[in-house]
Amino acid sequence: MTAGPTGPALPEKAVVVVTGGSKGIGRASALAFAEAGMRVVIAARSEERGAGAEREIRDRGGEAHFVRCDVTSPADVRALFTRALERYGRVDCAFNNAGIPGDGRLTDLTPEDFDRTFAVNARGLWLCMREELRIMSAQGGGSIVNNTSVHGVRTVFPGIGAYVASKQAAVALTRMAALEHAHEGIRVNAVAPGPIESDMLTASEAAVGGATTWRGLIPSGEIGTPRHVADVALWLFSASSSYVNGQVIGVDGGFLAT
């Protein structure tokens, strides 16, 4: 990878690792990246869904490889990137998408609830970035995109304190990684989705009113799709965004502008 005055250009058939890549935003992103000619390493906990995502990409003529990985496990994360290097020899891009909700008022949360949310959304993100940054530093550059949330920028609803705190931690980790590694030709940015058609949005119905509540908050009045997020992540990997670093890009129908 050659670094230019505005950042590294991606090589042909760039290799991208997608965590949480078996469903929702992760799966849509893996498909979008493969359509763009990238070689995709899909990481997920579910063997069945992960293998299905790999098969779908291959059936469409793309290149994909599934690795079972729990991002809360340092051993799993190390094995994921070892497998990626063994298969492709490099990791040019990473979409750190794995995440879980964290419902419950602060006074009702148990320590186990709180720790589990942070284990995936913050500590798991750091474990993945640690491997990605080491690899990209050694090879001369790369691009990382973290999937955070509008909740990482603005506290929106009560009753999801652990999730909000974990996503704000993810934003802080994004900016710190960008600061520490910009001189190595590595860019680290984040997407901050608003309401996106997903299992998580459906599950939020009881806690915050789901899509119905969100439509009243979004200037466009529209719920986003996983592909909306995937397209922004793909742009952040591309040479078109080569001077964008340490940024959190809202994919939210204008919510953060209100």
Report pLDDT digits (tens) over 104-115: 999 999 999 999
User: How confident is the model over 34-60, as a mean pLDDT?
Assistant: 97
Model confidence pLDDT, tens digit, residues 56-76: 999 999 999 999 999 999 999
Q: Say if residue 1's pLDDT is above 50.
A: no
Instruction: Supply φ then ψ for residue 20, to 5 degrees.
Output: 60, 35
**What pLDDT score does 212 carry?**
77
Q: How far is it, in rounded angstroms, from Cα 243 to Cα 234?
A: 15
In the numeric block, which tokens belong to residue 194? 């608003």
**243 has catalytic annotation:** no
**pTM of the shown model:** 0.93
pLDDT at position 168 is: 98
Q: Which of 81, 118, 163, 255 is catalytic?
A: 163
Residue among 33, 30, 72 at smallest CA distance from 52: 30
Least trusted range by pLDDT, from 12-16, 52-56, 146-150: 12-16
Q: Was domain 12-250 assigned CATH 3.40.50.720? A: yes
**pLDDT tier for residue 211 given thresholds of 50, 70 and 90:** confident
The pLDDT of 38-53, averaged and rounded, is 98
pLDDT at 5 (0 to 100): 38
